[in-house]
Amino acid sequence: MLQQNDIGRCLGMVGGSARSAGLALKPEIVEPAPVIRADSRAFRQILLNLLSNAVKFTPAGGEVRVSVEVEGDRARVTVADTGIGIPAWALPRLGRPFEQVDNV
């Protein structure tokens, strides 16, 4: 079971890097936060990867947001940032192992 403190823990883990990079971390989680049935270890790893990339590719003065929305019996977790983004041509490559897209 995944709970709000799991998301908070992930935000805390990237918080120092975000502050050093001059970024704002903005959690947008509905209250009361939903309990999500998931492999919490795998979910935390995915969330940490997304947050780390967002911090890495967002310029100073930007922001990284994590939102959790509930729609019926489902929850949507979103990581969004004001960074450089991913070009449309590279989107199909994202599911391949060991892919990385350089975006200048």
Average pLDDT of the chain, as a whole number = 86
Strand partners of residue 75: 70
Q: Report yes or no: 25 and 12 within 8 Å, Cβ to Cβ.
A: no
pLDDT digits (tens, 9 = 90+) for 16-59: 999 999 999 999 887 777 777 888 889 999 999 999 999 999 99
Count CB-CB contacts under 10 A for residue 55.
22
Task: Look at residue 3 in the predicted model and tell me its pLDDT.
Answer: 62
Task: Look at residue 78 in the predicted model and tell me its pLDDT.
Answer: 93
Whether residue 12 is predicted with pLDDT greater than 70 in this model: the reply is yes
Backbone angles phi, psi at 43, to 5 degrees: -65, -45
pTM for this structure? Answer: 0.82
Q: Report yes or no: 33 and 4 within 8 Å, Cβ to Cβ.
A: yes
Look at strands 63-71 and 74-81 and give their pairing: antiparallel
